[in-house]
Amino acid sequence: MPTVHTHGKEYLDTIFHNHLKQNKKLFVPYIMAGDGGMDQFIENLQFLDQAGASAIEVGIPFSDPVADGPTIQEAGKRALEDNVTLPAILAIIKEHRSTIQAPIIFMSYLNPILQYGLDIFMKDAKDAGIDGFIIPDLPFEQQSLIQPHLDENELALIQIVSLTSSTQRLQTIAEASQGFLYAVTVNGITGSRDTFESTLEQHFAQLKKYSNVPVLAGFGISTPEHVKQLSQYADGTVVGSKIIELLQTKDFQSIKELIQAKGEV
């Protein structure tokens, strides 16, 4: 008998808690929904789940992704050119959700879900087995727009903090985060980087103090060395652009190496 889960905030918390309890660091890969076709999308989710992803971040394609670098922009463009839509993404995830253990987090710009209708969307997302959301263009101050709908469906809203956020802001946002806290590690957009600022260790120590949920590092992380380095400071890492590149070239081995680099607590 397959276990029946109620997806949402609690599921995400439980899975992350279990990982950390077993002294495992967290690793969250990002993929673009529908890039390479819908069948490929499901296969990618299943592969990442099997390969040990702690959760999977699913990007919703948008015409104007201002927080994203070239790799994710191009992936979104390919999906849109293939006429991938939000209802279709929800439908196919719902169909295959029972084959994927990892929590699924949607990373969507505000407008696609706004046009879907916030209340219906959150119900449908819950129904499809989505556990939480990252909305990169919905800063803390504007979240009253969406929070009631999330609460009603017990879905997690993952907060983002940046290197430019003031200490007071870091604290307020970190305390409010659900699921995990997404700490942006560079001043900039998504995409590969060579190096990170030397002050990151301190930054993460501060965030972990404020946050009631795991703190994950994201943006610019592209090598096993990066994963290893940042996993020492944070509770885990999010890798996007690099995963998209590796999936495109079907380099599954390198993806496994990235995931394995997360190491132990």
Partner 1 sequence: MTYEQPTKQGQFGVYGGQYVPETLMEAVNELEQAYEEAKNDDAFNKELNHLLSTFVGRSTPLYFAKNLTEKVGGAKIYLKREDLNHTGAHKINNTTGQALLAAKMGKRKVVAETGAGQHGVATATVCSLLDLECVIFMGAEDMRRQKLNVFRMELLGAKVIGVEQGTATLKDAVNEALRYWVSNIEDTHYIMGSVLGPHPFPVMVRDFQSVIGTETKEQHIELEGSLPDAVVACVGGGSNAMGMFYPFINDTDVKLYGVEAAGDGIETKQHAATLTKGTAGVLHGSMMYVLQDAFGQIQGAHSISAGLDYPGVGPEHSYLKDIERVTYRAVTNEEALDAFQQLAKLEGIIPALESSHAVVEAMKIAETMEEEQSLVICLSGRGDKDVETVRDHLKKEE
Out of 5, 52, 112, 257, which residue is the one contacting partner 1 (CB under 8 A)?
112
Q: State the minimum distance, in angstroms, from the CB of residue 44 to partner 1.
A: 22
Tell me if 141 contacts partner 1 by CB under 8 A.
Answer: yes
Task: Confirm whether 68 is a catalytic residue.
Answer: yes
From CA 22, how far away is CA 188, in angstroms rounded?
Answer: 34
The single residue of 57, 124, 131, 235 carrying the catalytic annotation is 57
Tell me if 205 contacts partner 1 by CB under 8 A.
Answer: no
Tell me if 148 contacts partner 1 by CB under 8 A.
Answer: no
The single residue of 35, 49, 68, 124 carrying the catalytic annotation is 68
User: What are the distances in angstroms from CA 252 to CA 87, 255, 256?
Assistant: 29, 5, 6
Tell me if 147 contacts partner 1 by CB under 8 A.
Answer: no
End-to-end CA distance of the chain: 33
**Of residues 163-182, which lie at the interface with partner 1 (CB under 8 A)?**
163-166, 169, 173
Q: What is the dihedral of CA 4, 51, 93, 81, to 10 degrees?
A: 180
Task: Confirm whether 74 is a catalytic residue.
Answer: no
Contact 227, 237 (CB under 8 A): yes
Range 136-141, long-range pairs (CB < 8 A, 24+ positions): 136/67, 136/107, 136/109, 136/160, 137/66, 137/67, 137/109, 137/110, 138/110, 140/169, 140/172, 140/173, 140/176
Q: Of 32-40, 90-98, 157-165, 241-249, which segment contacts partner 1 by CB under 8 A? A: 157-165
Q: State the minimum distance, in angstroms, from the CB of residue 265 to partner 1.
A: 27
Tell me if 162 contacts partner 1 by CB under 8 A.
Answer: yes
**Of residues 49-68, which lie at the interface with partner 1 (CB under 8 A)?**
62-67
Tell me if 91 contacts partner 1 by CB under 8 A.
Answer: no
Tell me if 161 contacts partner 1 by CB under 8 A.
Answer: yes
Tell me if 118 contacts partner 1 by CB under 8 A.
Answer: no
Contact 102, 55 (CB under 8 A): yes
Q: State the minimum distance, in angstroms, from the CB of residue 165 to partner 1.
A: 6
Q: State the minimum distance, in angstroms, from the CB of residue 215 to partner 1.
A: 14
Out of 113, 207, 230, 238, which residue is the one contacting partner 1 (CB under 8 A)?
113
Binding site for partner 1 (CB under 8 A): 62-67, 69-70, 73, 77, 80, 85-87, 109-116, 136-142, 160-166, 169, 173, 184, 187-189
